[in-house]
């Protein structure tokens, strides 16, 4: 019934060809360098050729290959423009689409999971999918009560395909290292593998989505479609119309980009505080920009539509206060206090001793967006950070290798880094500090937080509205 298992041999062969291609290009680059070309120029050519082959293969496959491609795509901001430019369109395509399932397979899944009379549940059902991604595809339909809905149908055999692809990719993860400077690919693949069972469980996804839909119902900034029906391999939610974030990235006005960026930052930090859950798949394909109540109204009233809650981090008490506290102390220049907290939380292993001032110097460029009232995220800024941390000759690279990322912070770190990647794709100017003050536990000194009644309440006023009305 599934096209995924039947193509397992083909999938494995395509993925297995990647390291062979990498090895061939490495030999090519060595020859070029021996021929007198500079290491930097040859390195960039190697990076571009590697990227072109990687995303060509990932774009042809669903499963874990697609999931990895989506996760990696938000980091294209870190690549040199001459490398990122040629395949940026391919990355956007990865975020939004994959080859669809045959209609007969879709109907068979619906009959098996919703019953032989499944058509009676719908007034209309579009056989052509409106979107297709790593483990399922979405069909637009009209529910029997007249509501427009999105019907998410899981690919049969998606689980084995996910695990097989990610296992295969992890075997040559180190060869992908040069693709995104400063980023260790293997932990990303490992973390994606660890989340496979959760993402395949539509009951968990429905629970997480409905928790957000309930909490953000009527919210002026964020829209989450309510769950209509859920069964194994099928999830029906309300339809959400809007401008895909990938289109805003490609063609949006400066005002739209800034609004989208502010809303993304707002959702990143307010979501855990209000729902106890962190949406953990922040690639552009999962977001829409929705006009306000009046279609021709100001962009400042547009809202962020959020989709796909298959991967979430469960944080019943919100984001860890240690993040906000250490960030505040770093901004205040308290090197010794920051270092002590990093040691206590396991970011510095007991066997390692580092200079607190050097650690603070390493952190300050990364937290620059929180130092100012408004910060413009750019691809150039992202590239500078990636180069600073990724260049083996850099002191920051040497220090970074000695730091540790505790498992409990891994997903939070990836989501934050991914969101920053999207903000850089948008080129958005964002009042990040406003969001930290409103939603990040520990960021404000305890006495200041106590002086502001309701600051920690779920219904606290949003800071994602018109920047002119945001508190400084």
Query: Which pLDDT value is given to residue 133?
Result: 66
How does the average pLDDT of the chain come out, rounded?
A: 80
Token pair, residue 196, equals 């496979």
Query: Which pLDDT value is given to residue 191?
Result: 73
Query: Which pLDDT value is given to residue 23?
Result: 40
Token pair, residue 140, equals 């637009």
- H or E segment to which residue 142 belongs: strand 136-143
- Alpha-carbon distance of 312 to 415, in angstroms, equals 10
Question: Sorting pLDDT into bands at 50, 70 and 90, what band is 24?
Answer: very low
Torsion region of 121: left, alpha or beta (phi above 0 gives left; psi -120 to 50 gives alpha)? alpha
Domain ranges in the chain are 1-200, 243-472
Instruction: Look up the pTM and report it.
Output: 0.78
User: Over 50: is that where the pLDDT of 320 sits?
Assistant: yes
pLDDT (tens digit per residue) in 213-241: 999 999 999 999 999 999 999 999 999 99
- Alpha-carbon distance of 190 to 16, in angstroms, equals 18
- H or E segment to which residue 132 belongs: strand 131-132
- Percentage of residues in the chain having pLDDT higher than 70: 70
Please indicate whether residue 452 or residue 348 has the higher confidence score (pLDDT): 348
Question: Sorting pLDDT into bands at 50, 70 and 90, what band is 65?
Answer: low
Q: Is 101 helix (H, G, I), strand (E, B) or coil?
A: coil
**Got the DSSP string for 114-137?**
H-TTGGGGEEEE-SS-SEE-SSEE
User: Over 80: is that where the pLDDT of 57 sits?
Assistant: no
Query: Which pLDDT value is given to residue 411?
Result: 87
H/E/C letters for each residue in 5-18? HHCHHHHHHHHHHH
Query: Which pLDDT value is given to residue 414?
Result: 86
pLDDT (tens digit per residue) in 247-279: 999 999 999 999 999 999 999 999 999 999 999
Please indicate whether residue 85 or residue 459 has the higher confidence score (pLDDT): 85
Of residues 361, 320, 360, 319, the one with CA closest to residue 338: 360
């Amino acid at each position: 019934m599934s096209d995924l298992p039947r193509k397992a041999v083909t999938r494995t062969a395509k993925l297995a060809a990647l390291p062979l291609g990498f090895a061939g290009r490495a030999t090519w680059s060595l020859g070029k360098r021996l021929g007198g070309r500079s290491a930097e120029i040859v390195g960039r050519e190697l990076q571009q050729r590697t990227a072109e082959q990687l995303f060509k293969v990932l774009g042809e496959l669903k499963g874990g290959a697609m999931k990895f491609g989506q996760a990696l795509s938000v980091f294209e901001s870190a690549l040199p423009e001459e490398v990122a430019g040629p395949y940026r369109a391919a990355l956007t395509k990865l975020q939004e689409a994959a080859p669809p399932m045959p209609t007969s397979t879709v109907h068979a899944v619906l009959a098996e999971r919703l019953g032989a009379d499944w058509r009676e549940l719908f007034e209309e059902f579009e056989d052509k999918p409106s979107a297709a991604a790593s483990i399922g595809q979405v069909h637009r339909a009209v529910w029997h009560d007249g509501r427009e809905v999105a019907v998410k149908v899981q690919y049969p055999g998606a689980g084995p395909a996910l695990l097989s692809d990610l296992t295969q990719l992890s075997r040559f993860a180190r060869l992908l290292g040069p693709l995104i400077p400063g980023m260790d690919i293997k932990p990303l693949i490992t973390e994606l593998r660890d989340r496979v069972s959760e993402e395949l469980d539509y009951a968990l996804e429905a629970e997480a989505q409905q928790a957000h839909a309930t909490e953000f119902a009527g919210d002026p900034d964020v829209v989450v479609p309510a769950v209509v029906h859920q069964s194994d391999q099928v999830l029906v939610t309300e339809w959400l119309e809007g401008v895909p974030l990938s289109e805003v990235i490609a063609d949006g006005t400066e005002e739209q980009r800034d609004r989208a960026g502010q809303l993304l930052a707002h959702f990143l930090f307010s979501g855990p505080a209000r729902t106890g859950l962190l949406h953990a798949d922040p690639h552009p394909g999962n977001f829409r920009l929705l006009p306000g109540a009046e279609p021709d109204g100001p962009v400042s009233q547009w809202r962020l539509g959020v989709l796909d809650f298959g991967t979430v981090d469960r944080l019943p008490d919100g984001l860890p206060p240690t993040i906000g506290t250490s960030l505040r102390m770093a901004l205040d220049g308290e090197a010794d206090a920051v270092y002590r907290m990093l040691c206590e939380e396991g970011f510095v292993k007991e066997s390692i001793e580092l200079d607190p001032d050097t650690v603070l110097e390493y952190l300050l460029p990364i937290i620059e967006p929180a130092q100012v009232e408004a910060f413009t995220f750019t691809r150039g800024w992202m590239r500078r950070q990636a180069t600073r941390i990724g260049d083996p000759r850099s002191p920051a690279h040497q220090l970074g290798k000695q730091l540790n990322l505790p498992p409990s912070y891994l997903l939070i770190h990836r989501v934050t880094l991914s969101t920053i990647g999207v903000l850089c794709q948008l080129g958005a100017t964002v009042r990040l500090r406003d969001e930290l003050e409103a939603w990040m536990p520990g960021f404000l000194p305890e006495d200041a937080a106590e002086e502001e009644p309701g600051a920690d309440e779920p219904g606290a006023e949003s800071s994602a509205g018109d920047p002119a009305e945001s508190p400084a």
